[in-house]
């Protein structure tokens, strides 16, 4: 038997998160190993030399990138610990938090994406990778509710499949930066219902997708589909990320939006949302995903459903080897 660490019981305690036992020594690895070291190697580490000792260990990393990333990780992590000077109990609690975050992940729940999103890291990575959109539509977070191979629909279909909510017509177009319409662009879309739930958050969601579709633009680059008006919603907050938000005094809400992922040959795949104007959470999105140019009004029509319209512009594909865009110029 291996002793569970404090705070790892089923119930949530003040000291930690309710993940299953966190063993220091996995079964089968408990043999005592006696290490000998050559006499001439200094091995007495303290606050003043531990960082450089660890940095020295990665000097022979298998690639320059592995070395750069490893060194930055060690430098920043050690600086973080020096900054906060955690007690040992606090550090154990932090490890339990990350353990629970992993244990919370399943086919339909990605707690690490939520953590990255709520700490603003997803939007930072997004910003670094899309520095020069020019005329192209701006990008925002993918989020955890994207599902590959969504059901294909024809233009004009109702994709809501019985989701509750006010009727909505979504329409728009896809063009390249020079204005050329993109025919046959693949438009993936997904959104929450009037109560703020995605299909995948219901027990049968993966088997019966709703409010989710893949369409193709027509010869003029246009698309349109019927569905229901999505509501603002709290991100899943019954796990470690929700606990973190409470500790930080933050609400868990996202403003109402419709997701899009749009791809076409020769163009960069666009991952973005349309946000509905007037939503109370536009200025305080828990994942920092709102951009002014992505907000559109819900237009009421004399007859027929409310309408949401967006004309998307795709950036030209970048040569594969260029990788991350150059940093912004100072001054």
Residues that bind ligand BEZ (CB under 6 A): 114, 117, 141, 143-145, 235, 254, 287
Inter-residue contact 305 to 255 (CB < 8 Å): no
Query: In this chain, which residue has its C-beta nearest to Fe ion?
Result: 143
189-190-194-198 Cα dihedral, nearest 10 degrees: 170
Q: Cα separation of 185 and 175, whole Å?
A: 9
For residue 257, the minimal CB distance to Fe ion (Å) is: 6
Residue 255 partner contact from Fe ion, ligand BEZ, none using kind-dependent CB cut-offs of 5 to 8 Å: none
Query: In this chain, which residue has its C-beta nearest to ligand BEZ?
Result: 143
- Closer to ligand BEZ by Cβ: residue 176 or 212: 212
Residue 170 partner contact from Fe ion, ligand BEZ, none using kind-dependent CB cut-offs of 5 to 8 Å: none
- Closer to ligand BEZ by Cβ: residue 99 or 140: 140
Q: Cα separation of 121 and 127, whole Å?
A: 10
Name every residue whose Cβ is closer than 8 Å to that of residue 301 and which is 6 or more positions away in sequence: 307
Interface segment toward Fe ion; rule CB under 5 A; list 97-105, 108-116, 140-148, 303-311: 140-148
DSSP, collapsed to helix, strand or coil, labels residue 310 as: strand
For residue 232, the minimal CB distance to Fe ion (Å) is: 10
For 214, the enclosing helix (H) or strand (E) is: strand 212-216
Residue 141 partner contact from ligand BEZ, Fe ion, none using kind-dependent CB cut-offs of 5 to 8 Å: ligand BEZ
For residue 287, the minimal CB distance to Fe ion (Å) is: 9
User: Among candidates 254, 249, 248, which has minimal Cα distance to 234?
Assistant: 254
CB atoms within 10 A of CB 276: 22
# binding residues, Fe ion (CB under 5 A): 1
Q: Cα separation of 261 and 263, whole Å?
A: 7
Interface segment toward Fe ion; rule CB under 5 A; list 64-72, 97-105, 137-145, 299-307: 137-145
For residue 231, the minimal CB distance to ligand BEZ (Å) is: 12
Q: Which residues bind Fe ion (CB under 5 A)?
A: 143
């Amino acid at each position: 038997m291996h002793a569970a660490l404090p705070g790892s019981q089923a119930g949530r305690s003040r000291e930690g998160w309710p993940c299953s036992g966190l063993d220091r020594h996995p079964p089968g690895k408990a043999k005592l190993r006696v290490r000998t070291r050559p006499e001439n190697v200094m091995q007495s580490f303290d606050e003043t030399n531990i960082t450089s000792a660890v940095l020295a260990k990665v000097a022979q990393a298998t690639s320059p990138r592995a070395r750069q990333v490893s060194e930055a990780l060690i430098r920043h992590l050690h600086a973080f610990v020096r900054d906060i000077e955690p007690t040992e109990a606090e550090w154990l609690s932090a490890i339990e938090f990350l353990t629970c975050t992993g244990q919370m992940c399943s086919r339909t729940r990605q707690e690490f994406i939520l953590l990255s999103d709520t700490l603003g890291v997803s939007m930072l990575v997004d910003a670094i990778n899309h520095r020069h959109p020019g005329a192209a539509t701006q990008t925002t977070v993918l989020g955890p509710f994207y599902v590959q191979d969504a059901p294909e629909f024809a233009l004009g279909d109702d994709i809501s499949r019985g989701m509750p909510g006010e009727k909505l017509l979504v329409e728009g177009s896809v063009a390249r930066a020079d204005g050329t319409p993109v025919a046959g662009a693949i438009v993936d879309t997904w959104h929450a219902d009037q109560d703020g739930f995605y299909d995948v958050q219901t027990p049968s969601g993966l088997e019966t997708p709703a409010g989710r579709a893949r369409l193709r633009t027509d010869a003029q680059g246009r698309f349109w589909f019927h569905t229901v008006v999505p509501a603002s919603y709290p991100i899943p907050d019954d796990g470690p990320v929700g606990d973190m938000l409470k500790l930080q005094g933050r609400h868990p809400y996202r403003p109402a939006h419709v997701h899009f992922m749009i791809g076409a040959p020769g163009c960069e795949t666009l991952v973005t949302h349309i946000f509905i104007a007037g939503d109370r959470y536009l200025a305080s999105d828990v994942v920092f995903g709102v951009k002014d140019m992505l907000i559109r009004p819900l237009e009421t029509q004399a007859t027929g459903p409310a309408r949401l319209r967006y004309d998307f512009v795709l950036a030209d594909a970048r040569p594969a080897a260029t990788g991350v865009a150059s940093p912004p110029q100072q001054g």
